[in-house]
Amino acid sequence: MFKKVFRVEGGNFQKAGSVSKQIKKILKQLNLDGELIWRAMIIAYEAEINAVLYAHECQVSLEITAEKIYMRFKDKGPGIPDISLAMTEGYSTATRAMRERGFGAGLGLPNIRKTSDHFEITSTVGVGTTLDIDLFLN
């Protein structure tokens, strides 16, 4: 098993995307299937951008075994009051400033779920949100 933990800083657009890039590099070196790497990267990128946009900080845990890629995004932040609404395509709480940067189309979470093999979300308002994602190797 290979494990690595990354940290995403909320509000820091300068580094936005750097964690998903590192994850992509690791998966490539492991010679995993291209389509799988791309899916993992889409998920990591969306989740990372979400963390930059909404959270104070986010801990990203990556675990790879011969069976699966597991990613956990655990953030400290405002939390999500209505998860089913947040999972609706096109729904977004993005501010105007975020939209002006090209984010906030309301596709992040639904896209992550769609791309994962297994997806779980838990959230406590005022505490934070955790995403647990599995991608199976076979």
Binding site for other proteins (CB under 8 A): 1-4, 17, 20-21, 26, 28-32, 34, 38, 41-42, 45, 64-66, 102, 137
Q: Is the Cβ of residue 66 or residue 97 nearer to other proteins in the bound state?
A: 66
CB 38, min distance to other proteins, A = 5
CB 45, min distance to other proteins, A = 5
CB 44, min distance to other proteins, A = 9
- Amino acid occupying residue 85: L
Residue 77, CA distances (Å) to 9, 74, 121, 136 in order: 11, 10, 14, 29
Q: Is the Cβ of residue 82 or residue 100 nearer to other proteins in the bound state?
A: 100
* CA 47 – CA 111 distance, rounded (Å): 10
Q: Is the Cβ of residue 41 or residue 86 nearer to other proteins in the bound state?
A: 41
CB 89, min distance to other proteins, A = 15
Q: Is the Cβ of residue 2 or residue 83 nearer to other proteins in the bound state?
A: 2
* CA 8 – CA 137 distance, rounded (Å): 26
